[in-house]
Structure 1
Amino acid sequence: MPMLLDPSTKYLPYPEVPFPPGYIRRWPNRRTTAAPRWLSTDLRDGNQALVNPMSNATKLELFRELLKIGFKEIEVAYPSASDQEFQFVRMIIENGEVPDDVSLQVITPARSDLIAKSIESLSGCRHAIIHLYNAVSPVFREVVFRNTKEQTIDLTLNAVRLVKKLTEEETARSGTRFTLNYCLETFSQTEPEFTVELGNRVLAEWGKATPEDKMIFNLAATVECAPSNHYADMVEYFSTHINQRDSVVLSIHPHNDRGTAVGASELGLLAGGDRIEGCLLGNGERTGNVDLITLALNMYSQGISPGLDFSALSDTVALVCRCNEMEIPVRYPYAGQLVFSAFAGTHQDAIKKGLDAQAKRWSEVDRSGKGTKYWAMPYIPLDPKDLGYGYENLIRVSSQSGKAGTAYVIKQKLALDLPRRMQVSFYKVIQDESERIGKEMTGALITSAFKQTYSLDSQPTGRLFLHSYRLFPLSPTSREPSSPMSDYSDDIQNLVPSDQSPSVIRFEGELTIDGIQRTIHGDGQGPVLAILDALRSDLAFALEIGESAAQTVHDDSPAHTKSVTFVELYERGMSPSKSGVGSFWGVGISSDVTTAKCRAVISAANVLVGDRTFPRPKRIFSPRPKVTAVDSDGWLHEVKLRAGGVAPRSEQEIYGSFRVETPPL
């Protein structure tokens, strides 16, 4: 049957709560400023909703977890339902599993035989709560029980009298102190006036409620059948009409049939609620109870301590799911695997900028000793580290992500802060690879692709690989090299010296080119221009510099630092676009600034080189020694070609012992 075009012919709207004319509701103008009392019903209300109810061993494991989290009131069983339930209550009491500051609650319907067994199960407990319930809404009164209002009141009061009598006897026998928690089951479907009438009659019959020893009223949205604001109205109506308000606790027990149990709980607290009943992850019949984790962490994110500890949330979630044989969606609030993950490029960019800005704010607080380290982050309302998570899962990269996500991963994994244009360039590499494999690019895959793309390896991975180099200062007049420079290092931020700089140096580098080691030479103002000149003159590979950047990273401590150079290159004659098309970046990392620059140039050149063919090595004659009369016939043996069939003299013989070996990455 299709959905009705006019559902009003079949479904009635919820009735208004009968506030007097001109009444101004209190709850819309209130704010939550403190946590409520919490009652976990995981072991009873949650357990009865399971396809396979928990064994007592499993219930004990979950009971201990609830204690660890910090619950002081726990509904542990329905003792009259089965011997197993009864024995669980006896086991945790007799085995000393219940701390002195924790109250056990058990549930019983308003039937004399079941009430007696429930109270018996609690013998010897320091403090016990009897959860007495019966359904009181019209549909239950008239259809299920066929009772009038008066008969419903009589049934309830008779049960209260019996609870009072048996609990007083048990207190005299074992010392257990009892509190009555009367549940108006189906409260949210009951006439507000009748809930107050029945509540006041129960309160009077109990006769023992005081501000120091309060009675509890459970206002159950057994079936969530109206909006959250309507439930709040009902709670406020009950709160403002019940007698001895300072001697009662209003306990909020929403279910989630409309998907708004958390919202109903929050509004119910504003309307006068003092206590929340629910389950971890919202387990329960039909759509479940209110999720105590979500509700508690909503408060926490507003600066209100919930009094419950979810510092190891993933462990708690895993335990609850295992005990209940359930799973939760990956997008489930707080507890889902992906709730702190962003795949969209715009979200990733905002999160990355937010983390950077917050790090600066917090660093200033540490430096100055003024201010507070407030959490203020786009898209992430709560610090994942407070729940035992790290930041490594904040940004996840797929083919639909953006440059910021990839840059964030590289910063987290390798501590490298990529320039913006380089972020665009490298993300294209990651996007292509993600589309190729059809999967998410994990942190390991991204870092592996980064190292491979930019030839960050101690062994040759591209067509060009720099082994070592020498730098010689050149005379401004003769352009002849003098002694090798043992530690040439120009401004780390300035790869290309200004036109006013007269300093010219010669670069001589030992490279592996297509698997063959050879030497190249070039001159320029600074090592970068010199190595570019060497690539042009010896390899006919003319490159120009686009943008560049540099940073310093620490290995283990500030004493162990490395210099990082990022350089953008493009082939002479090309004009790279703003997006970076037509150019490519290189990365160089070393404890020496100059070596980092040289490596960065070779890194970028490795990509731009493509499949071009390099010219053969130039033939260079070594200077022959002074000829004497004794060995004049053998002088030809001293002429050696660098690339000929006769092995040349060693570079140590020619230049002495100086050489800059490029250290491992």
Structure 2
Amino acid sequence: MKNYNKYARSYFMPPKTSMKWMEKEYVTKAPKWCSVDLRDGNQALIVPMNLAEKLEYFQLLVDLGFKEIEVGFPAASETEFTFLRTLIEQDLIPADVTVQVLTQSREHIIRKTFDALQGVRKAVVHLYNSTSVAQREQVFKKSKEEIIQIAVSGAELLTSCAAETEGDFTFQYSPESFTGTEIDFALDICNQVLDVWKPGVDNEVIINLPATVSLSMPHVYASQIEYMSEHLKYREHVILSIHPHNDRGTGVADAELGMLAGADRVEGTLFGNGERTGNVDIVTLALNLYSHGIDPELNFERIPDVLKVYERITKMKVPERHPYGGELVFTAFSGSHQDAIAKGIKWREDNAEPYWNVPYLLIDPTDIGREYEGDIIRINSQSGKGGIAYILEQTYGLDLPIQMRESFGYRVKSISDHLHKELGSAEIYTIFEQEYINLNKPIQFIDYSFKSGEQFETMIEVKKDGVIHEFTGIGNGRLDAISQVIQSQLNISYSNLLYKEHALGTGSDSKAVSYVGITNESGTIYWGCGIDVDIMTSSIKALFSAVNKLILDQ
């Protein structure tokens, strides 16, 4: 590509090495979560949410278990102001939930923010100003000292306004564009703000370090976070928060390494909705923790329901391959994948395995409201015999013999390839039914009877070419006797009778299923399936189905 040399690294490493996070294997507990869907997420929508939609979305976040929810920038617009007032005046904020509001470090905005907060039980007031080199030089044209004064004066005004306003307030400060700020300067400005607020045991303060624009690889962000964590004043009374964006597609990695590096709190959105490429996706972060056996302290047990509300209100579409939430993230079309998944699930059932370790499936899809049928194994021209057999067994109770699975698998794949479409479970069953079950042309089986002795003597009644015939014969067993009659009386040659049977369902009204394979002189196996309330009848129907397939192929 052209013009690559006009780009240069615009981030800053800490003044000294901060890499202790590398020694940690994994995150050991969930962070404090703060949803910013109603602020960052809302301002990223083509059509922002109206009041009713915001109220419904707020309730969704509460139901999912969020204890901190940023509800907007109340001084920015009448809609934002009204939304906060509605939450307060209609007592819609649960006692264990804290709302968060955003304000720039400007006097009239801060004062209007506290006007909007009148009567709130508790709230986080989130103060920010831009600190990056690019913002200082190009936008504000101010020195470092002037930028610090903006932050300090805002912090002082928050203190005085909070003292004049009823409510329990926690202060939060963000050096906006932290990732483009010299780390020693970011530390200086945060510490000067902390000196104003003087956090203590009963007065915790949040320092939020946003990757407003993701500028580096994730390990750099982690080193920046670790350095700040180790050098912030009043650290034992500071909640260190991170707010990664996803410009480089590394928002989740930034957040996970940031947590290893000392972050106590994460701000993000459902499915990563946010400006440009979005905010960090809390669904992915939370379920990544879940996949390591850690309680995420958020409830995503019904992801399909969350998706419906999210997509309806935001008008955004979660991509099919989006982690956990996407329609196809657990779906296997590949034959080898389907076979491994089916065998893994069966092995787990047979061995009462306590820990989830099924091939190709990071977590059990049913734990987040997804279903095996239709979600996990889906059939197209790339699918294999294992997946196709799994669909028939799970949905219709048909446990095909291993040799039969290959034959039927090729047939289904051929049909899918010809139609250029995915086949649903009902379509697969219809193909199986038409190809194998109780086939009665060109020879229709009607009835049978047996006399037992040293050998089984049988009589069968069939219909061929519109004429009913009765034939008799003997064999070593009942099915063998029927087979001997077919070969001798109907002049049909085959060998190597393969047989399997099982019940279809349980209880007194269950049916029997039989599968019969026969081999012609060239070695081709022809399969048939019989279903009947009587096991013997189902076996005979399966044999005639196989014979009819052989005749039609001649």
TM-score, normalised relative to structure 1: 0.81
Is the aligned partner of 1:141 residue 2:168?
A: no
3-state SS, counterpart of residue 144 of structure 1: helix
Is the aligned partner of 1:472 residue 2:451?
A: yes
Distance 1:301-1:515 versus aligned 2 partners, 3 A rule: farther
- Alpha-carbon distance in 2 for matches of 1:245, 1:126: 26
- Alpha-carbon distance in 1 for matches of 2:10, 2:101: 35
Cα-to-partner distance string for 1:274-306 (whole Å, 9 max, x where unaligned):
111011010000000001111111111111111
Note if contact 2:174-2:208 (Cα within 8 Å) is conserved in structure 1: yes
Give the AA of the match of 1:339: V
Give the AA of the match of 1:534: V
- Alpha-carbon distance in 1 for matches of 2:514, 2:23: 58
Residue 561 of structure 1: CA displacement? 4.7
Residue 471 of structure 1: CA displacement? 0.7
Is the aligned partner of 1:182 residue 2:173?
A: yes
Query: Residue in 2 aligned with 1:615?
Result: none
3-state SS, counterpart of residue 398 of structure 2: coil
- Alpha-carbon distance in 1 for matches of 2:22, 2:233: 20
Cα-to-partner distance string for 1:212-234 (whole Å, 9 max, x where unaligned):
43100110000001011100000
Which residue of 303, 306, 311 maps to 1:316? Answer: 306
Cα-to-partner distance string for 1:517-551 (whole Å, 9 max, x where unaligned):
33232211111221112112322112223433333
Residue 24 of structure 1: CA displacement? 5.2
Residue 473 of structure 1: CA displacement? 2.0
Residue 560 of structure 1: CA displacement? 5.2
Query: Residue in 1 aligned with 2:233?
Result: 243
Which residue of 495, 514, 530 maps to 1:544? Answer: 495
Note if contact 2:440-2:548 (Cα within 8 Å) is conserved in structure 1: no
> What's the Cα RMSD here?
1.7
Note if contact 1:211-1:248 (Cα within 8 Å) is conserved in structure 2: no
Distance 1:611-1:50 versus aligned 2 partners, 3 A rule: closer
- Alpha-carbon distance in 1 for matches of 2:90, 2:35: 21
Is the aligned partner of 1:428 residue 2:407?
A: no
Query: Residue in 1 aligned with 2:160?
Result: 165
- Alpha-carbon distance in 1 for matches of 2:430, 2:345: 24
Residue 125 of structure 1: CA displacement? 1.3
Query: Residue in 2 aligned with 1:483?
Result: none
Distance 1:329-1:146 versus aligned 2 partners, 3 A rule: same
Distance 1:72-1:397 versus aligned 2 partners, 3 A rule: same
- Alpha-carbon distance in 1 for matches of 2:334, 2:497: 29
Distance 1:444-1:131 versus aligned 2 partners, 3 A rule: same
Residue 8 of structure 1: CA displacement? 4.2
Structure ranking higher on relative contact order (CA contacts 8 Å, 6+ apart) = 2
Residue 93 of structure 1: CA displacement? 1.1
Give the AA of the match of 2:427: L
Decide which structure has greater helix share.
2
Note if contact 1:138-1:190 (Cα within 8 Å) is conserved in structure 2: yes
Structure whose CA Rg is larger: 1
Cα-to-partner distance string for 1:75-100 (whole Å, 9 max, x where unaligned):
01111111111001001111121101
3-state SS, counterpart of residue 609 of structure 1: helix
Which residue of 427, 437, 445 maps to 1:455? Answer: 437
Is the aligned partner of 1:373 residue 2:319?
A: no
Distance 1:515-1:326 versus aligned 2 partners, 3 A rule: farther
3-state SS, counterpart of residue 192 of structure 2: helix
3-state SS, counterpart of residue 327 of structure 1: coil
Cα-to-partner distance string for 1:555-589 (whole Å, 9 max, x where unaligned):
3x4x5554433221023xx142xxxxx11112223
Query: Residue in 2 aligned with 1:16?
Result: 13
Distance 1:327-1:9 versus aligned 2 partners, 3 A rule: closer
- Alpha-carbon distance in 2 for matches of 1:450, 1:534: 27
Aligned pairs for 1:35-434 within 5 A: 35-171=30-166, 176-207=167-198, 209-362=199-352, 373-392=354-373, 393-434=375-416
Distance 1:125-1:585 versus aligned 2 partners, 3 A rule: same
- Alpha-carbon distance in 2 for matches of 1:542, 1:91: 83
Aligned length: 553
Distance 1:262-1:168 versus aligned 2 partners, 3 A rule: same
- Alpha-carbon distance in 1 for matches of 2:498, 2:415: 25
Note if contact 2:38-2:72 (Cα within 8 Å) is conserved in structure 1: yes
Note if contact 2:12-2:179 (Cα within 8 Å) is conserved in structure 1: no
Aligned pairs for 1:552-563 within 5 A: 552-555=503-506, 557=507, 561-563=510-512
Query: Residue in 2 aligned with 1:441?
Result: 423
Query: Residue in 1 aligned with 2:483?
Result: 532
Residue 514 of structure 1: CA displacement? 4.2
Distance 1:130-1:584 versus aligned 2 partners, 3 A rule: same
Cα-to-partner distance string for 1:232-262 (whole Å, 9 max, x where unaligned):
0000000000011110001110000000100
Query: Residue in 2 aligned with 1:478?
Result: none
Residue 466 of structure 1: CA displacement? 2.4
Cα-to-partner distance string for 1:442-487 (whole Å, 9 max, x where unaligned):
111101111111134xxx653233232101125xxxxxxxxxxxxx
Unaligned runs of 5+ in 2: none
